[in-house]
Structure 1
């Protein structure tokens, strides 16, 4: 168990993912200054609905660079996701602090898939989806080995689905989750393409015939 300061946001950050933040609220300016001074991480727990508060899982974040500090104390910082954590208890009030914290545990997270065929299949499906959407120029570069976290934000997941992926702790299960999603997405896009083709045919002269038919 560990205690970390927390910065709740309506984003899902994955391990290894870069994240640029503009810090303007006094409590988070204090949080960032403390973390930089003490060279420690903070946590971004996921908020999908403000009425429901923070979700169970989030990601610890390391500060890489203070890019700019403004006269009013606001900051631009480069950060990167480290590890997925599970919140055991939120500590809303900390003496002499404006920000909150949480007691967290770090579930064991298996990053290697052990199944290169599945990883390659998922990447091929992403490529096919981008081609169907005419977005090939934005196609992500394949890395060896590919990790699910590297493409999770690029395949049209909803915020809820991104959070579900965050709460899966084996790479092979994450890849399988993405494979099923991509399969569904591809089917939807293909159907939309058929609809577009039918719409484009409206108003055109057509050669229509059923051939010989016994009436």
Structure 2
């Protein structure tokens, strides 16, 4: 479906279903948020990656936690769906901000249970290796739920958001975790060796000597 949305480009990737708190201070975006509140309208955060605005996420304002006297806002938002910016007018008519023609990117929620279990085990090991206390992963997770927690760069997050099927996203993050975990294991071994330095240890000499 094609329609228009106010655009709030940021150098980050916001994912569907993600809660994102924003402090809005630039004049153009103060006006954008004011208009969205007044019109009960959502807006889009297209990711400003690779020096262009194209893919992003439609966001809804869940709560205005603070409105400042100078027009700044603290707001709580939540991602709704992935969008692609087809065209934009910047600034739009008599506004300070841009409005873009967007299309909604379809999402096929066709996750694979085996891949999901592999990701679950890998993420739990990652939590243990980086010593994240009291964090567990529920088995009803979707890839977008964990995408900010597994060490992806902004560029790889941007690639992830363009995948339209959950199974594709599962394979993508699992490949990433298979590269990440050996590095984390090496770091953990190095920490253990450093901690043992100076302690008396028993070594078994080679049998031939």
TM over 0.5: yes
The residue aligned with 1:152 is 147
Structure 1 position 143, deviation (Å): 4.7
User: Within 1, Cα distance between the matches of 2:166 and 2:199?
Assistant: 50
Superposition pairs for residues 1-215 of structure 1, below 5 Å? 1-48=2-49, 52-54=51-53, 56-113=54-111, 115-137=112-134, 139-144=135-140, 146-204=141-199, 207-212=203-208
Unaligned runs of 5+ in 2: none
SS in 1 for 2:48: coil
Query: What is the aligned-residue RMSD (CA, Å)?
Result: 1.8
Higher strand share: 2
TM-score, normalised relative to structure 2:
0.91
Q: Provide closer, same or farther for how the CA distance between residues 66 and 193 of structure 1 changes in structure 2, counting only shifts above 3 A.
A: closer
User: Within 2, Cα distance between the matches of 1:25 and 1:159?
Assistant: 23
Structure 1 position 203, deviation (Å): 4.7
TM-score, normalised relative to structure 1:
0.88
Given that 1:140 and 1:151 are in contact with CA atoms closer than 8 Å, whether structure 2 keeps it comes out as: no
Given that 2:4 and 2:99 are in contact with CA atoms closer than 8 Å, whether structure 1 keeps it comes out as: yes
User: Within 1, Cα distance between the matches of 2:129 and 2:24?
Assistant: 38
Query: CA offsets, 1:42-81, max 9 Å, x none?
Result: 11010135xx242x20011111111111111111111110
User: Within 1, Cα distance between the matches of 2:139 and 2:30?
Assistant: 35
